[in-house]
Amino acid sequence: MSFNTLTPMKDAQDYLMWKDALKFVKVAENLRDKALLRLLVATGRRVSEILNLKVSDIDFKKKNITWLILKKKKPHRATIPVDEVTLLILTQYIEKYKIMRDDYLFKGYKTDKPLTKRRVHQIVRYYAEKYEILAQNGKYPHPHTFRHTFASYLAEKSQNIQDIHILKQYLQHSNIDMTLYYIQVSSKQYRALLERGVLDVE
């Protein structure tokens, strides 16, 4: 399969330049927003998966996060490596706000329930409007724009088709370009991509 044969998404321009995605993290006005935006930028996870995170899902020693994947026909949990910069920001956030191990990572105001998707959308829109950060389609980004950005950026940095398969598994996609196969890859292979230091390249 050639990279040139990959069929573009319907919303193919709904992504940010990588430097613009990183800007969200840099301009965050508090640690909660910084941690939330960093997870959106650097993990490519769906907002529902981030909001379902509890502190206990993060293994700081093994540098992994265990995600609840809801998009599939059968929900399941997937343990996936995470980069050190993200872990550092999460550590600072958890320590500052004294978030307990069994708590949701991002709780709503005066509640033990997680933030709503609507609130995350408002947070993203606030920074996008304040700093005039637009996606490539000329529109303000929304939370899912970061997933498209992550996938586009790592696909661009991929060196061969196997890297694309690694990215596919990481994102928990069911296929590539409407193909019928689904290749299992290990956390070690994805970590090799992380160790190239691609996430923080501007």
Active centre residues (catalytic)? 46, 71, 144, 147, 173, 182
Which tokens in the block code for residue 104?
Answer: 């949701």
Question: How many residues would you count in the chain?
Answer: 202
Residues 6+ apart with CB under 8 A from 24: 37, 40, 41, 124, 127, 128, 133
Residues 6+ apart with CB under 8 A from 183: 165, 168, 169
Alpha carbon distance, N-terminus to C-terminus of the chain: 29
Residues 6+ apart with CB under 8 A from 129: 140
E strands present in 50-199: 58-59, 64-69, 76-81
Which segments of 60-160 does DSSP mark as H helices, in order?
Answer: 84-97, 117-130, 143-157
With vertex at residue 9, the alpha carbon angle to CA 69 and CA 193, rounded to the nearest 5 degrees, is 55
